[in-house]
Amino acid sequence: GDLIRVPMPPMSEERRKEMTKIVRAEGENAKIAIRNLRRDANEAVKKLVKDKEATEDDQKRTEAEVQKATDKHIAEIDALVVGKEKDIMEV
- What is the tens place of the pLDDT at every residue in 43-74? 999 999 999 998 999 999 999 999 999 999 99
Q: Considering the entire predicted model, what is its pTM?
A: 0.81
Q: Given pLDDT bands bounded at 50, 70 and 90, which one contains residue 1?
A: confident
The CATH code of the domain that includes 23 is 1.10.132.20
- What is the tens place of the pLDDT at every residue in 28-46? 999 999 999 999 999 999 9
Domain assignment present for 44: yes
Q: Cα–Cα distance between 7 and 4 in angstroms, integer?
A: 10
Domain assignment present for 77: yes
Domain of 24?
A: 13-89
Q: Give the number of domains in the chain.
A: 1
Q: Cα–Cα distance between 64 and 35 in angstroms, integer?
A: 14
